A and B are shown apart, each in its own frame.
Chain A
Amino acid sequence: MESLRRKYVRCPHCGFTNFSKNIYCNRCNLKVKRDYSSINKSLAFLFAGFIFYFPANIYPILQSNKFFASYTNTIISGIFELWNDGDYPIAVIVFLASVLIPLLKFLILFYLNISVKSCKYLKIKRRLYKFVEISGPWSLLDVFVVFVLGALIHFRYVSIIPQKAALYFLLMVIFTILSAMSFDERLIGAECE
């Protein structure tokens, strides 16, 4: 069975079975070969995303104007505001999607990239990758909320204006999605068989 596993490889894009030596899939022509250069690509995207994590959390993401009062909110202060207003479930969702999951994604992707050749905890690593792959885009929630609020509330005396952290946050999420996409999951445990 092990020899069969080494002989064939599943195309991650269309599911077709190819010989391990194939570089491109016989059915969809997309790349199928296990590629160690994907680690460099994934790490590069990850660091790019990590750079944007700091301005995304330090700078304000929203500016709210109500009549003659104007105040700005960072992601963290927005979560506290939701919590203090009693919107506990929403505060938890925003906290998970905007603070905890991005941070976990960085840690997990970094760990996966540096430990890809290690044969320990293979099952856990595969599950961690699945978690990153599925939860990754959900960090866009905050950017979309800013978009909806900015597009809806732009009156003379009441307005919500997106601030620069929204752009940094969006860039951070895009780079981490690209990092997760670049990482070749099949490399986990590839040298342990």
Chain B
Amino acid sequence: MKNLKKIIICPECENPNLKKELKPGEIAICSHCGKTLYKKENLIEIKIFSLLLSGIVFFLIAMFYPIINIDIIGYKENLKIVEASLFLFNKGYIFISLFVFMSVFLFPAICAFLYFLSAIFLLFRYNGVILKKILILITVLKDWCFLDIFFIAILVSLIKMFSYAYIVFDIGFIAYIIFLSIMFYLVKIIGVETLWNLYEENM
């Protein structure tokens, strides 16, 4: 097990590389294909913690406050994700509304909360079973969060409505963009593997 920790396999070419201790700011690349394997960043736990502290606030605003308001010949309506899911659920579109509710609200909410918890645990150098379970949950759930696709869908819908509706962006829209950016940074740029590596370093 200890020897295995010294080896890292390139995700691109599956070439085994020896792991080396890095200085902050340095990156390790594969000796065969040159792909970035891991990097050392300063205070990554604090970065995740602070990003998610603000991220959770923006998430609540994005989900419960209107994202856009529309006005069609005097009829007014706004888009709130949770309310919209409930509305379509009550109209009989059960599967679609449940799927949207889970992939745009529930799973991102759980993911953000678990990232937040893992950052706290890592800050306090805790590496017990709970942290491991949290990391497994994040690993599995992150693939079912579709915030980015939903955002593009909102933009496409706006273009479709543009010709016959008066559209006003609301506070939820800005909060949604900020939360989306935070989650994108955490999931795609930092990545779950970084959390797993931090968990291992604490062992």
Contacts and interface: CB of A to CB of B under 8 A. Distances in A.
Nearest to A155: B75
A5 B14 contact: yes
Given A28-B136, A141-B149, A144-B100, A150 B75 contact: no
A30 B154 CA distance: 35
A89 to B, nearest CB: 9
Contact of A167 (B1, B95, B135): B95
Contacts of B46: none
A156 B73 CA distance: 11
A152 interface: yes
Given A9-B9, A27-B196, A151 B88 contact: yes
Contact of A155 (B11, B14, B77, B157): B77
A162 to B, nearest CB: 6
* Interface range for A: 35 or more
A144 B159 contact: no
Contact of B15 (A1, A146, A174): A1
A93 B156 contact: yes
A1 B160 CA distance: 56
Contact of B96 (A27, A29, A93, A166): A166
Given A9-B9, A141-B156, A145-B160, A28 B79 contact: no
Interface centre among A5, A85, A153, A186 (most CB of B within 10 A): A153
Interface in A1-53: 1, 4-5, 8-10, 13-19, 26-30
B200 interface: yes
Given A85-B163, A87-B159, A141 B193 contact: no
Nearest to B4: A17
A13 B136 CA distance: 9
A175 to B, nearest CB: 13
B150 interface: yes
Contacts of B174: none
B153 interface: yes
Nearest to B32: A1
B99 A170 contact: yes
Interface string B1-28: 1001101111100111000000000000
A82 B161 CA distance: 11
A94 interface: yes
Contact of B9 (A10, A137, A158, A181): A10
A28 B196 CA distance: 8
Nearest to A18: B4
B96 A140 contact: no
Interface in A152-166: 152-158, 162, 166
A149 B84 contact: no
A19 B70 contact: no
B169 interface: no
A147 interface: yes
Interface in B122-147: 132, 135-136, 139-140, 143, 146
A10 B160 contact: no
A109 interface: no
A110 interface: no
A158 B73 contact: yes
Given A26-B4, A152-B79, 6 more contacts: A8-B7, A8-B9, A28-B136, A90-B159, A150-B93, A153-B72
Interface of A: 1, 4-5, 8-10, 13-19, 26-30, 82, 85, 87, 90, 93-94, 137-138, 140-141, 143-158, 162, 166-167, 170-171, 174, 181, 186
The 4 closest A-B pairs by CB, nearest first: A144-B153, A151-B84, A10-B9, A155-B75
